[in-house]
Amino acid sequence: MPSGYKDWHKGVKADIIAQTLEKIAVDIVASSIGNLPIDIKAQTISNLDIDIAAQTIERLIQSPSYGGARQFHSSTGADPDVETLIGRISGSGIIYGGYLFWQYDEANPYDEVKVVIDGNDCGSWFIEDLAKWHIDSGNMWWFVVHYRSATDYIGILKCAEGITFEEEFAVYFTADPDGGSKIVELTLIYALR
């Protein structure tokens, strides 16, 4: 310790403060303001457009960034009573929308869709039950019934909008055990952070 040097600690202290503030400023840009007991005045208030005294944000615009979005498409056969991975997106991002399309069979309608998000099994539904319970709009489930027809053999489920994921978003399909194999197509519009 340089005890013989008068006021040696003052210089060290000043350096530490400067470094700490720099790091905190980065955190503010990353929008974690709430938990930071810091001198806001020393930071970038003008860029944040926040009324600190009133603790309000005058205007918050939330919009999807379609410019950075990608289209995901998968097409494969799904055998009866076998859980088949139709598609998986890994990373951190958001699903803006999409659909699941398959050969619908009225005689064997118990096809099952399962969604896994970030390693968690988020449940599964039979297509027939989705239709019976009118799970057909908004964000009632991860996929909702959009259209199904026994005459043109088409089933379409619409993907709920705005599903976020931190590690993965995966869709599985199991064809009705009493029916035949089915061709399943999955299309998603998504973006990664």
Partner 1 sequence: MSVDVEIKGFEEFWRKDKKVKLVIFRIKGEKRLRDLEIDPNREYSEEELKEVIKRHLTQSGQR
- Shortest reach from residue 111's CB to partner 1, in Å: 17
CA dist., res. 112 & res. 126, Å (int): 4
For the bound state, the minimum distance from the C-beta of residue 186 to partner 1, rounded and expressed in Å, comes to 8
Question: How far does Cα 92 stand from its chain's mean position?
Answer: 7
CB of 88 to partner 1, least distance (A): 4
CB closer to partner 1 out of 9 and 73: 73
Amino acid code (one letter) for 24: I
Cβ nearer to partner 1, comparing 106 with 167: 167
Burial category of 4 from C-beta neighbours within 10 Å (exposed 0-12, middle 13-18, buried 19 and up): exposed
Shortest distance, CB of residue 163 to partner 1, whole angstroms?
15
Q: Give CA–CA dist 75/70, Å, rounded.
A: 17
Q: CB 170 → partner 1: shortest distance, Å? A: 8
Residue type at position 162: G
Pairing of strands 56-57, 168-174: unpaired
Closest among 177, 2, 172, 178 to 87, alpha carbons compared: 172
Nearer to partner 1, 98 or 109 (CB): 98
CB distance 173 to 102 below 8 Å:
yes
Residue 68 or 180: which CB sits closer to partner 1? 68
| Residue closer to partner 1, measured from CB, 125 or 165 | 165
Rounded-to-integer distance, Cα 58 and Cα 186, Å: 40
CB of 59 to partner 1, least distance (A): 25
- Note the residues at the interface with partner 1 (CB under 8 A): 67-68, 70, 72-77, 85-93, 186, 192-193
- Given a contact cutoff of 8 angstroms between Cβ atoms, the answer to whether 192 and 91 are in contact is yes
Q: Which is nearer to partner 1, 68 or 177 (CB)?
A: 68
